[in-house]
Structure 1
């Protein structure tokens, strides 16, 4: 696309469908949404670039990494199961952090897709419940003092 010659639509054309597959894994699928309010030549151009530059596989890899980090942050933050309201708030917090990203960025599309993922709450809650208990932190100052005392 040439931003000088081609009008850039402000409506979201890059979409992501997030789902939980039968094996219980999160799956992402990116595609160009054919918005009826956007002229066909613009949509055709978006689709041609999406296919020609093979963006879907790259977005899937990057999106999986982004979502994996997001889920891990939640799993580390919460000790009990999430409510749907808390999950919505976490997704909104992430989207709020992307306020200056273009409407059609893959990051925005990814988190918008998570908003509609039916099994996401159960997916995250299974991970929270299965999280191993972290051992207590080492008091490094006391350890250092003990090692110094042992040398004397």
Structure 2
């Protein structure tokens, strides 16, 4: 069981005095990747015009650009909502950057009303992400939304 309250405190301490998104996202991806069990990727994609561009991450190499509306990440941006997928092989249009991934959770990051990126986490374990994970990770995203200047 992940202690999301502790992770939130740690992320606040790491990002509270820095406003640039890149170092904050780099530290956030490392924190998440090493704190949550059964992950093979944890990182961020940032909006670049109408598509997502690879940002800081931990794990194997990843897709560099994802069109809005494509895959789990692009769909989360298009629909402006969290997507939690128990089996990515059943998600129509899934982009397989790592064939070992079985489940995924994607959380949009907002600057006001505008989506500026996503937190994307993959696991080789089917059904890895729970409602508790969704709620805890949402709190981490709120810290990043507040502590970064999204230009």
Q: Answer yes or no: same fold by TM over 0.5.
A: no
Q: Which structure has more RCO (C-alpha within 8 Å, separation ≥ 6)?
A: 1
Higher helix share: 1
Select the structure that is richer in strand.
2
Q: Provide the TM-score with structure 1 as the length reference.
A: 0.28
Q: Name the TM-score, length of structure 2 as normaliser.
A: 0.28
